[in-house]
Chain A
Amino acid sequence: MDLSAEHILDHYRHPHHKVWLEHPTVTHAEQNWSCGDALIVQLCIEDDRIAAIGWSGEGCAVSQAAMSLLSESLEDTTLTEAEALSARDVIDLLAIPIGARRLKCALLGLHTLQNAIRAFRSLPPLTWGETVGNAEQTR
């Protein structure tokens, strides 16, 4: 993590879309078991579009900033577009070098989002191996 990356700390201190939605279409929680970081993502889905996104959670600056940045990028996108987001896209959003030790911090938001959509579609959740493996191929 790069402390001179002021935007990361900005998102950590003042996260975007960190709100609790009253009537979400789907609510999904994931945790990074190795460090305890946890996120809950809520989506309001209208005609296959993400009409609103809210999230809550706690953890390190990387996991929380990644979720904040990700939620910004999701405003008014289609589910198909959100499902197509790759680990590389999230790392590009963060715009800081992410080493192997911080990969799961960076990808917790993506993991939670994509499993929220899969829950909505009644699909089995992605494993961490699938989310992280996807990142290692794109690195």
Chain B
Amino acid sequence: MPLDTAAIRRQFPFLAPRVDGQTIVYLDSAATAQKPSCVIDALTEAMKTSTGGVRRGMHPLSERATTLYESARQEVARFIGAQPQEIIFTKNATESINLVARSYAASVLREGDVIVLTLLEHHSNIVPWLQLSEEKGIAIRWIDIDDAGRLRMDEMEEALSDPRTKLLAVTGQSNVLGVRPDLATVLPMAKSHGVRTLVDAAQRIVHTPVDVRALDCDFLAFSGHKLFGPDGIGVLYGRGELLRDMPPFLGGGSMIRTVDRAHFLPEDPPYRFEAGTPPAAEAHALAAAIRWLTALPLQDREAHAHTLLSHAIERLRRVKGLHLLGPGTADEQCGLISFTLNGVHPHDLTDLLGQRGICLRAGHHCAQPLHDRLGITASTRLSVGLYNTIEEIDTCVHAIEEIQQAFQQ
């Protein structure tokens, strides 16, 4: 059954009619998703009724905050097939990856070891490893893509079979090309060579079911805000047996068992990695977002994204001088398409689209090595969400054509 887009749109306050009459066409969900009312309500309700120190305080408000926070942990664990103690709440996917780099990799990897990255990675899955590489003399090995953006599996096999390779950090879905590396092949390949794995699922988690046991990855990171949840909360899944031996990331309150003038004894996971007062209201709202999303049948969500993207690709392909990046099919790309337009810089294009209330992302999308590989400095990205319609795609493409004409006159 097709998704009832009209009913979904009514749940998103950003689409409500505005006093100034401007309507928003939001085609930037890959940057951050808009929030449904139930998530906004969950956030404010938690702050109204359950503000108290999580796991610190004997009073009823602390009790309520702790219950919300730990229930949210269970909800997230169910969502990705993990155990609650394997779920660490962070600020976002970026912090989750930094945690793995600073705690796991910094304590386990040695000079001369190799970390494998792909050219599809977002800066959040590049820079923490470059920092570590500079500090510890660890080498980075890059896996190339073909011209359509598919990973070079021959290079992957070769890199993973190198005995110096200790860690593979790979995206679940490119934020520029929308392609999804074949994790079902890559992750077992890594495991067979004794290589630990981290999946950056920031983009993938919205579109594709993620089960950490089925994937058999060691770490998996994502943000709440791309998943219709609030800002300021992210998730790191870590395999229980690895988390047990990992040193703390940030130091402070909540992450310790005891402290004296000379020493501290850290808490068990996941608390060991959650220093300071945790974001209970945000965790509660993230759990609400997950419940909201998963209540919509997966096949309907997938069909909706596929229909919109197919239509967008077909319409964009007809724009003269517009070059699609990636394979250019909705079967291989998920939720987004990026492109360049002859004679119009992406920043001019998205500035002018923005003046019409049409919101797209432009720039290097925090993926400069990928843009270098593609031989361009910047691109424009159109990404779809559950609230988007075919008409909105048409409005956007029509506006792109008008802007291009104005530049060519």
By a beta-carbon cutoff of 8 Å, the part of chain A in contact with chain B is: 1, 3, 9, 12-13, 34-37, 59-62, 101-102, 105
Contact = CB atoms under 8 A, between A and B. Distances in A.
B100 interface: no
Find the residue from B348, B352, B377, B403 having the highest chain A CB count within 10 A. Answer: B348
Contacts of B345: 37, 59-61
A36 B364 contact: yes
A101 B351 contact: yes
Contact of A61 (B348, B355, B377, B378): B348
A59 B378 CA distance: 10
Interface in B378-409: 378, 403, 406-407, 409
Nearest to A102: B351
Name the interface size band of chain B: 10 to 19
Contacts of B311: none
Given A35-B378, A36-B378, A105 B403 contact: no
Contacts of B407: 9, 12-13, 61
B363 interface: yes
Nearest to A8: B348
A105 B347 contact: yes
Contact of B377 (A36, A101, A105): A36
B378 A9 contact: no
Contacts of A35: 347, 363-364, 377-378
A59 B344 CA distance: 9
B66 to A, nearest CB: 41
Contacts of B378: 35-36
Interface string B316-354: 000000000000000000000000000001111001100
A125 B351 CA distance: 30
B364 A1 contact: no
A3 B347 contact: no
Contact of A3 (B346, B377, B406): B406
Nearest to B406: A3
A37 B347 CA distance: 10
A59 B349 CA distance: 12
B269 to A, nearest CB: 37
A3 B344 CA distance: 12
Contacts of A12: 407
Nearest to A60: B345
